[in-house]
Chain A
Amino acid sequence: MIFTQHLTKKYGRVTAVDRLNLSIREGTVFGMVGENGAGKTTTLSMLSTLSTPTSGHAVINGYDVVKNPSAVRHSIGFMPDSFGVYDDLSVDEYLEFYADCYGVDKRVIATRRSDLLERVGLSDKRSTYVNALSRGMQQRLEIARCLMHDPPVLILDEPSSGLDPRSRMDMRGVLRGLREAGKTVIISSHILHELAEIADEIGILRRGKVAAVAAVQVMLQHSSSQRTLWLESRSDPSLVESVLAADGHVTSMEFRDGGVEFVYMGTYEGQSELLAALVAAGVKLTQLTERATDIEALFLRLTSEVGGSSHDA
């Protein structure tokens, strides 16, 4: 559905995107992560026909972005990272305007608009002027705007940026809805763990290149079978060490600050059994917690384990 080959964009001597290769299947939600300046926005800008590649190719829904930009525009809904709205239009008028831009049939507009406003939770704001909506509501309205012409592909650049936690949660709900609707979505973000909740596949961009690509499901399975745990007790550390060492799933123990940090490579049932073994051995436990997984580190480690950085999604 989305395919790029050696996609490159140069601004003078600066190479913003460097021979980018992507292959995103239909119905996939693809997350694109990277630091500021990694080339995410430039890539999305080329895919949305706003700028032209210096070299290479990009094909969306079977149409080349350079050779057939008009067909590409019909196939995509684009939400830029920093967008403005027409303040003095009502929500209904705002969506109608964009539907008219795509030549959507007048009879279709009314029903589709109602359906989309319902989906993004703005059905009670139809007559409200856009400037009276909160930032979070405006961003959800933008998603509805992207969908007014029912495109098969959505290109969303940082759709959750600048939102408070509550609005981010609402936005995640809307984005999950897109996946259920079978849309092919490419989302950029600089927050990996947020994308992991929505995306099917994730690619990391670094200095205009794809550093790694992996399926989120593989990452989640991996993270659930490998956890870093922190244990504190009022017992002798050597006793704790002997019990932990006896469990075949425990690796890399480190005693410090009155506790022990260790990696547990096993299921949650196995972890319960380890806990029972510690109690049975007389260890007086005061705390057992799971340390937050550095998902990016895990992601990079995982992609190198599965055969280095695969440049194709």
Chain B
Amino acid sequence: MMRNPILLKEFRQRMRTVRAPMVVTGYVASMAVLTFLLLYENVQGQLYLIQPSRSEQVFFVLSLLQMLVVAFLTPAFSAGSMSGERERRTLAVLLTTPLSPFSILFGKVLASSALQCLLLMASLPLYSLVFLFGGAVPQEVVAVLLFQLFTIFIVATISVMWSTIALRSGWSTVLSYATVSFMILVTGTVGLGLQSLAKNPVDGFAASWGHTLLSLNPLWVEAALENAVHGGTLPWVTFALFYVIIALILTPFCLWRLRPQWLRRIPGATRMNERNYQ
């Protein structure tokens, strides 16, 4: 993986700026303050009031907040990755190297999700406070962390793909944030709305669609992993399948942008579509 030249270059470019340590420091400091406030608020300053159930609530709020932050932060780092290359006029040269479109995209995805992964790792010690007071079990923390890493990866992948397909960074940013909004706001509000509808007259259709939509919401899936809501046996499977399929659907369009010649492998595709993206 580290042999990917794009990844190495992106690490050099991104991590040597002042922005990277500032973002990490600011994030960890904010999360630390928030954790302290949540714990303090829970016990009202009386340490003997600390109970495992309250500590679990702190973990729940913290992890959901963390998911929300990284989900909205990821497009900021990935939405301009490929369109930026085009705008800086470095893409043409990159495409004349023997690097395959997959390794270019893979390098971009890993590089643009690296900082958010670092944020998650840097905030892990805060969870030790939760362990200190009991409540959350290590398996739960590991499951939440892995799911958060997967969500970052999938958001970064789709954002990089939008960035490859859209000709301008402005458009790719809009499309990436629209995707994240769908993942969090649309699936959340519509899913919960359908479920609340289903409570009054027994409506299996609304309940089932509500549940399906909520399965596509990372906050809800995470809550299910923490047993805060009922999400079925493997709540993350529907989520993972759906977004992987979305990424697979976008892949041919990315290849069309990067190597229009590959269109010839698709039966019926005409040479007229082989326009220069660079």
Give A contacts to B, CB under 8 Å.
Answer: 11-12, 45, 48-52, 54, 66, 69-70, 73-74, 76, 78-80, 82-86, 88-89, 93, 97-98, 100-103, 145
Contacts and interface: CB of A to CB of B under 8 A. Distances in A.
Contact of B13 (A48, A49, A86): A86
B8 A100 contact: yes
B52 interface: no
B5 A66 contact: no
B272 A102 contact: no
Given A50-B276, A100-B5, A74 B89 contact: no
Nearest to A87: B88
Nearest to A12: B272
A84 B90 contact: yes
A52 B5 contact: no
Contacts of A93: 9, 12
24 contacts: A49-B96, A50-B92, A50-B95, A51-B260, A51-B276, A52-B260, A54-B271, A73-B97, A78-B93, A78-B96, A79-B93, A83-B93, A84-B89, A85-B90, A86-B88, A86-B90, A88-B13, A88-B16, A97-B5, A98-B93, A98-B97, A101-B94, A101-B97, A102-B98
B230 interface: no
Contacts of A11: 275
B62 to A, nearest CB: 34
Given A12-B272, A98-B97, A101-B97, A89 B9 contact: yes
A69 B261 contact: yes
Contact of A80 (B92, B99, B264, B275): B92
Contacts of B99: 101
Contacts of A70: 98
Closest 10 CB pairs of A and B: A84-B89, A100-B5, A101-B97, A84-B88, A78-B96, A84-B90, A52-B261, A97-B9, A73-B98, A80-B92
B8 A51 contact: no
A48 B89 CA distance: 16
Contacts of A85: 90
Interface in B239-278: 260-261, 264, 271-272, 274-276, 278
Contacts of A98: 93, 97
A83 B90 contact: yes
A52 B271 contact: yes
Contacts of A80: 89, 92-93, 278
Given A69-B261, A80-B93, A83-B93, A50 B98 contact: no
B197 to A, nearest CB: 52
A256 B89 CA distance: 53
Contacts of B88: 84, 86
A139 to B, nearest CB: 13
Contacts of A78: 92-93, 96
Given A97-B8, A100-B8, A101-B5, A82 B276 contact: no
A70 to B, nearest CB: 6
Nearest to A49: B96
Contacts of A79: 93
Contacts of B264: 52
B278 to A, nearest CB: 6
Interface string B167-201: 00000000000000000000000000000000000
Pick from B17, B88, B96, B278 the residue with the most CB of A within 10 Å.
B96
Contact of B278 (A50, A52, A86): A50
A83 B12 CA distance: 21
Contacts of B274: 51-52
Nearest to B14: A88
A88 B8 CA distance: 13
Given A50-B95, A50-B276, A89 B5 contact: no
Pick from B12, B88, B98, B261 the residue with the most CB of A within 10 Å.
B98
A84 B86 CA distance: 9
Interface string B96-107: 111100000000
A103 B275 contact: no
Given A52-B271, A66-B261, 7 more contacts: A49-B261, A52-B260, A52-B261, A80-B92, A80-B93, A84-B88, A86-B13
A98 B94 CA distance: 8
Contacts of A73: 96-98
Contacts of B276: 45, 50-51
B16 to A, nearest CB: 7
A17 to B, nearest CB: 13
Contacts of A86: 9, 13, 88, 90
A83 B97 contact: no
A102 to B, nearest CB: 6
